[in-house]
Amino acid sequence: MAIHSAALSFSCVSLNYQASGPSHRLFGPSVLRKCNVKAPVFSLPSPVSFSRSRLQGKALESENGPLEKEESLVVCFGEMLIDFVPTTSGLSLAEAPAFKKAPGGAPANVAVGIARLGGSSAFIGKVGEDEFGYMLADILKENNVNNEGMRFDPGARTALAFVTLRKDGEREFMFYRNPSADMLLRVAELDLDLIKKSKVFHYGSISLITEPCKSAHIAAAKAAKYAGVILSYDPNLRLPLWPSAESAREGILSIWDIADIIKISEEEIRFLTQGEDPYDDNVVRKLYHPNLKLLLVTEGPDGCRYYTKEFSGRVKGLTVDCIDTTGAGDAFVAGILSQIATDISLLQDENRLRDALRFANACGALTVTERGAIPALPTREAVLNALLKSVA
């Protein structure tokens, strides 16, 4: 069966935040109004700086002063967990004879994806002080991802997700996280110096579902915004994790206006606009806020669409044999962010942007040819070879 790069995402959150001060308004209501969604407004105090620490508990306060940017560094914030994937496709969880353990979690997948492509990345999040947690930290290190922003919780386990692979290669999820360690990251544990030194700060919305991680997410995003870091948002909708569809819709849109780059799927457009046509450019433009630099819509085997203030278009996907779509969207994000972090000016050049998106599409396509997310993420050499073959 032929399928391609696109991203599988679904995500949500229900709160609208606004930074103190008129010149630093982070979370605006413009898209909420367009989509007829109401969300509460909260305020946060000014960010506090904390430096790196490998263990649980507070990070040490850093000295005041300007931080030098780490060229091309992408910091990914959010969840990292263990995916259990059936060894046989097309079966329910109950029918599966066995499961393959694989590291996962969308932000962590993106971090590893960028490093595997030769880029610079770091991960910030929390895992359990258990065998799985230390295994995940080691996997990041083995893949050349800076893991100094990871924290380990002694009282909660690392999250688990059982992922069923249907006959068409699509996924269904069963999560074990009530609560899991990733939900318990606190503001005091953030490595804000690492965030401020980055070129791009990437996040989803799952980390906004519950406290205290919700406050940590907002503090991290605010610190990045103040520091002039490019903010990248992939909602990554997972409805089973939310109290309701409405809370998910409100939550996703409540942080919409802070992002410089947004990646969404066709399914997410339909969800956010409450059933409107995701292929209608006028519908998609409703989701384009005034400060957005790039809106990307992934379309599975068909590739992706792109929207900026100046231009828009579609880039075809790469046709491959699909085995498992887990991580395809994260590989796509890794592919595009690895290039934007190196040269942000490509966002103003449509031809260069299209080349970058062909590369990102190939990253997603190659990922679906193997099982699991992180194990399947491609190297730069593999992507370039696939692109050469596609035009041969």
The mean per-residue pLDDT over the stretch 285-298 comes to 96
* Structural contact between residues 162 and 96, judged by C-beta atoms closer than 8 angstroms: no
- Cα angle 222-194-201, degrees, rounded to a multiple of 5: 50
Pick the more confident residue, 201 or 162. Answer: 201
Q: What is the pLDDT of residue 392?
A: 65
Calculate mean pLDDT across residues 206-213: 93
pLDDT in tens, 19-40: 333 333 444 555 656 666 554 4
Question: Which range among 12-26, 175-189, 217-231 shows the weakest confidence by mean pLDDT?
Answer: 12-26
pLDDT tens profile 87-139:
887 888 888 899 988 899 999 999 999 999 999 999 999 999 999 999 999 99
Pair 202, 171: CB distance under 8 Å = no
- What is the DSSP track for 37-67? ----EEEEPPP------SSSSPPPPPPSS--
Long-range contacts (CB closer than 8 Å, 24 or more residues apart) made by 312-317: 312/281, 313/350, 313/354, 315/354, 315/357, 315/358, 315/361, 316/361, 317/4, 317/5, 317/6, 317/361, 317/364, 317/365
Q: What would the pLDDT profile of 192-202 be if each residue is shown by its tens digit?
A: 999 999 999 99
Query: The whole model's pTM is what?
Result: 0.84
Sign of CA dihedral 286, 356, 224, 184: positive
Residue 214's alpha-carbon distances to 15, 47, 162, in angstroms, are 10, 15, 24
